[in-house]
Structure 1
Amino acid sequence: MPKVKKVPLRMCIGCQEMKPKRELTRVVRTPEDTVEIDPTGKKSGRGAYICPDAECLQKAIKGKRLERSLECKVSPELVDTLKQGMVK
């Protein structure tokens, strides 16, 4: 019987759905207190996962879920950067 590989799941902070980690975009607050997009998913720091969809990003920002997950304030400039970097 072949071994079945386990797929890691993460919750999108926008739509609150569990999805495979590879389908989501990771936003990380680094130890230097900068917030940025983590394309590799391996940067150290506190991370949050969001679907690469503008609607999920809006929900996360409107409900202050992104700020709560990263435990820091999110600047409007960062929101613009996230919108440009995430929307398909």
Structure 2
Amino acid sequence: MANEIVDNEAMSRFELSIEGELALAYYRHQDGRIVLTHTEVPQALSGRGVGTHLARSVFDILRARNARVIAKCPFMAAFAAKHPEYNSLLDG
């Protein structure tokens, strides 16, 4: 899956466009950290690894920015728990 993730800062969300659908990872800034709050994958894209691709890309982008991350979103928290290579980004 080579689709590019866009950080739509005005909407405080990362966007992944596939086949006219948008998978989204919402965030907010809090005390110098990025709080991942909610992830949405359209039903039409379900079961195709889109959420995993989105999560991996978001964490890679945030690592490149040297961001500190709080994963409040259950999906993002579960992804991070399964991928210890992202542990160094996590706060709280």
- TM class by shorter chain equals 0.3 to 0.5
The structure with the greater share of residues assigned to helix is 2
Higher relative contact order (CA 8 A, sep 6+): 1
Q: Based on CA coordinates, which of the two structures has the bigger radius of gyration?
A: 1
- Give TM-score scaled by structure 1 length: 0.33
